[in-house]
């Protein structure tokens, strides 16, 4: 059994720099990280900013949708981190790719593409052209299956991943209204807009197996699946091992996002490893690796 790989979430190793920022990525590279995830959001002029989005207020000293701003407009902004405006300018895709181009160690930059704008035509072509010189060092992930299919159709050799969070999810413990799907609480207690979740027609395990099958056909083969760790755990509690199901189909699985700040998160990470999870996304890979022990790579 190969060791579980820890992913440095949003280039946020040790929480020393703003998430997804270039200084955060540099810090991860300097400390020998194997896989680093950053968010990329499309801009008005076909570029990609290192931001989670969709609104600038969440992460920067700007305002409004990222998709309505050009690269020049975003370049004047700074990240907001821990409640204060920093001196760190917003980063962009090309800058991140330049950092990894000549990095000598085995490395993967996970570009988590946010579905806030269409990826088609010239924008898609330019995006793929930018990735070509470092294609062996990147993986593009996205919760939008239509964007994943477009990427795979345009470049079947591009490493990619899929997160089904727009289709099957858990209610937030804070009970906030959602601004993205799924919007409906289904009959089995999952957020699920699919007809399979409308009525109770079988056991929870039957329902989850059917939903996993439906989701599988939405994504091209070859993807790594990125799934909320708490969702994976609840499925296990209800008799459905989604990790084993995806393994039987030849797919790897990542569980996100587990940090070592609470005992229950560490216990959940241990449970994921017991069920042969391939990857775990975390904000503090060194501390989580120490807490877990065993065969861990980060």
How far is CA 58 from each of CA 46, 123, 183, rounded to the nearest angstrom? 21, 25, 22
How far is CA 105 from each of CA 33, 78, 247, rounded to the nearest angstrom? 9, 30, 28
3-state SS class at 232: helix
What is the helix (H) or strand (E) element at residue 244, kind and residue range? helix 242-248
DSSP string, 60-97: BS--SBGGGS-HHHHHT-EEEETTEEEEEEPPBHHHHH
First vs last C-alpha separation in the chain: 16
pLDDT digits (tens, 9 = 90+) for 179-210: 899 999 999 999 999 999 999 999 999 999 99
Angstrom distance (rounded) from CA 248 to CA 212 = 12
Class of domain 4-167+218-297: alpha beta
* Pair 264, 202: CB distance under 8 Å: no
Average pLDDT, the chain: 95
pLDDT at position 172, please?
A: 82
* Pair 74, 43: CB distance under 8 Å: yes
pLDDT digits (tens, 9 = 90+) for 230-279: 999 999 999 999 999 999 999 999 999 999 999 999 999 999 999 999 99
What are the φ and ψ backbone dihedral angles of 17, each rounded to 5 degrees?
-135, 160
pTM: 0.96
Nearest one of 44, 161, 173 to 108, comparing CA atoms: 161
- Angle (CA) 164-107-293 rounded to 5° is 80
Instruction: Name beta bridge partners: 40.
Output: 113
Q: Which residues of 103-142 are buried (b: 16+ CB within 10 A; e: fewer)?
A: eeeebbbbbbbbbbbebeeebbeebbeebeebeebbbbbb
Nearest one of 237, 284, 238, 275 to 254, comparing CA atoms: 275
Q: Which residues of 193-211 are buried (b: 16+ CB within 10 A; e: fewer)?
A: ebebbeeeeeebebbbbbb
Nearest one of 182, 139, 189 to 164, comparing CA atoms: 182
* Pair 284, 260: CB distance under 8 Å: yes
pLDDT at position 179, please?
A: 82
pLDDT at position 176, please?
A: 64
Cis peptide before 182 (omega within 30 of 0): yes
Low-confidence residues in the chain, pLDDT < 50? none
Report residue 270 CA to chain centroid gap.
Answer: 20
């Amino acid at each position: 059994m190969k060791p579980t790989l820890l992913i440095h979430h949003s280039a946020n190793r040790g929480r020393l720099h703003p998430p997804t920022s270039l200084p955060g990525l540099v810090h991860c590279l300097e400390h020998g990280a194997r896989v680093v995830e950053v968010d990329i959001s499309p801009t008005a002029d076909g570029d990609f900013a290192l931001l989670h989005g969709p609104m600038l207020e969440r992460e920067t000293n700007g305002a409004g949708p990222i998709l309505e701003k050009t690269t020049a407009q975003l370049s004047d902004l700074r990240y907001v981190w821990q409640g204060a405006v920093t001196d760190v300018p917003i980063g962009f895709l090309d800058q991140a790719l330049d950092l990894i181009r000549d990095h000598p160690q085995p490395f993967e930059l996970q570009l988590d593409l946010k579905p806030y704008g269409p990826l088609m035509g010239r924008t898609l072509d330019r995006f793929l052209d930018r990735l070509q010189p470092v294609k062996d060092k990147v993986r593009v992930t996205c919760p939008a299956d239509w964007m994943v299919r477009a990427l795979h159709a345009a470049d079947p050799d591009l490493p990619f991943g899929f997160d089904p969070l727009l289709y099957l999810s858990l209610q937030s413990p804070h009970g906030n209204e959602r601004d993205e799907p799924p919007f409906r609480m289904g009959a089995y207690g999952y957020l699920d807009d699919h007809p399979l979740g409308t009525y109770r027609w079988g056991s929870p395990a039957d329902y989850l197996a059917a939903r996993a099958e439906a989701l599988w056909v939405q994504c091209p083969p070859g993807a790594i699946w990125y799934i909320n760790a708490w969702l994976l755990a609840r499925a296990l509690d209800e008799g459905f091992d989604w990790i084993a199901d995806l393994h039987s189909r030849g797919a790897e699985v990542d569980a996100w996002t587990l940090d070592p700040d609470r005992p229950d998160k560490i216990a959940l990470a241990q449970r994921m490893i017991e069920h042969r999870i391939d990857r775990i996304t975390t904000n503090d890979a060194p501390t989580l690796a120490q807490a877990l022990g065993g065969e861990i790579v980060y």
